[in-house]
Amino acid sequence: MEKNAKIYVAGHRGMVGSAIYRKLQKEGYNNLVVKTSDELDLRNQQAVSDFFGTEKPEYVFLAAAKVGGIVANNTYRADFLYENLCIQNNVIHQAYKNGVKKLMFLGSSCIYPKLAPQPLKEEYLLTGLLEETNEPYAIAKIAGIKMADAYRSQYNCDFISVMPTNLYGYNDNYHPQNSHVLPALIRKFHEAKVSGSTEVNIWGSGTPMREFLFADDLADACYFLMQNYSDAGFMNIGTGTDLSIKDLALLIKEIVGFEGSLTFDSTKPDGTPRKLMDVSRLHQLGWKHKIELREGIKLAYQDFLEKHS
């Protein structure tokens, strides 16, 4: 990507989009185009068509999506399917129509079958049934990958897809019901510490294994892949290591400084038993994460304190 190229970051206020935006600025790109959802509703076909026709971006990072944790995914099933399909259909099609040089579509590790072998290799996509709670979101994201591939194959568009593992970091969502597990635990432990509670109750059994990548590391990987990767299919992005939800909770408890005890509510859903990414292809290309989990949680907690307490 040329330093003066016009680059559109869709979803620049979210955790992922804001990290990509910071990374591009840091690398000396200053011709960045961004729009808030109030300024540009990506679900609106005509609005997206008008935007691309006017702005003519040369590169696109498609990080805009309707996202949420296990409760939100399971509650707003129609919204998650409809809105994500609208967003990616509109952006990918207009990128083709307006001659975008390269587009990156960002998916999610929930696209893999619920009981796929571990660690998750890219070729396991569509080899089994999805996790029921987030099936609508996963189907939308799978459609996005296939759409990028279809435009590549039919129209020779340089559209690539990446699949990040579980993310956390600056500008995360700490909503009590709609957040993912790591930010939800940061909030829970912080509120328990402030209120002087003696225990924190955690959803599920604590046994599922999860992998976490700091969002700024993801942005670094996305930037790297825009320069060094151009292929059909998609590329996993992660750390290649995981830990149990219980161990994650203990680590966050320590960082936040909560002194009480933990209890686990095994009547609540666990979700997929394990979701570890195989990142050997990414490592072979020459990229590896830099921010380890303990350091990343400290940075995220500091960000939470500045914005939410």
What tens digit of pLDDT does each residue of 62-98 get? 999 987 777 777 888 999 999 999 999 999 999 999 9
According to the model, what pLDDT value does residue 261 have?
Answer: 96
**What percent of the chain is modeled with pLDDT above 70?**
100
Write down the mean pLDDT value for the chain: 95
Q: How confident is the model at residue 189 (pLDDT cuts 50, 70, 90)?
A: very high
According to the model, what pLDDT value does residue 274 have?
Answer: 86
Q: CA 65 → CA 86, 121, 251, 291, 295, distances in Å?
A: 10, 24, 29, 25, 27
Tokens of 47: 């609005």
According to the model, what pLDDT value does residue 247 have?
Answer: 98
According to the model, what pLDDT value does residue 74 have?
Answer: 80
Tokens of 159: 């559209």
For residue 220, report the phi and psi dihedrals to the nearest 5 degrees.
-60, -40
- What is the Cα–Cα distance from 72 to 114, expressed in whole angstroms? 18
Check whether 304 has a pLDDT greater than 80.
yes
Sign, CA dihedral 76-79-81-84, equals negative
**Burial group, residue 4, by CB count within 10 angstroms (0-12, 13-18, 19+):** exposed
- What is the Cα–Cα distance from 195 to 5, expressed in whole angstroms? 50
Q: At residue 65, what is the residue type?
A: A
Residues in contact with 269: Cβ distance below 8 Å, sequence separation at least 6, in sequence order: 70, 133, 203, 204
According to the model, what pLDDT value does residue 107 have?
Answer: 92
Give 105's strand partners: 62, 161
According to the model, what pLDDT value does residue 72 have?
Answer: 74
According to the model, what pLDDT value does residue 36 have?
Answer: 95
**What percent of the chain is modeled with pLDDT above 90?**
87
**CA proximity to 220, closest of 208, 234, 237:** 237
- What is the Cα–Cα distance from 77 to 289, expressed in whole angstroms? 33
Pairing of strands 212-214, 32-33: unpaired
Check whether 252 has a pLDDT greater than 80.
yes
> When comparing pLDDT for 90 and 273, which is higher?
90
Check whether 251 has a pLDDT greater than 80.
yes
Q: How confident is the model at residue 41 (pLDDT cuts 50, 70, 90)?
A: very high
Does 137 qualify as catalytic in the annotation? yes
Q: What's the CATH class of domain 7-171+213-240+276-291?
A: alpha beta
According to the model, what pLDDT value does residue 97 have?
Answer: 98
**CA proximity to 159, closest of 91, 86, 237, 87:** 91
Average pLDDT over residues 265-282: 90
According to the model, what pLDDT value does residue 99 have?
Answer: 98
Check whether 272 has a pLDDT greater than 80.
no
Residue located via tokens 């099609």: 93
Whether 68 and 76 have beta carbons less than 8 Å apart is answered as: yes
According to the model, what pLDDT value does residue 271 have?
Answer: 77
In the chain, which ranges are continuous DSSP H helix?
15-26, 45-55, 70-75, 77-97, 135-155, 181-195, 215-228, 245-256, 280-285, 293-308
Catalytic residue among 8, 137, 151, 174: 137
Q: pTM score, two decimals?
A: 0.93
Kindly report, residue by residue over 92-146, the tens digit of the pLDDT: 999 999 999 999 999 988 899 988 999 999 999 999 999 888 899 999 999 999 9
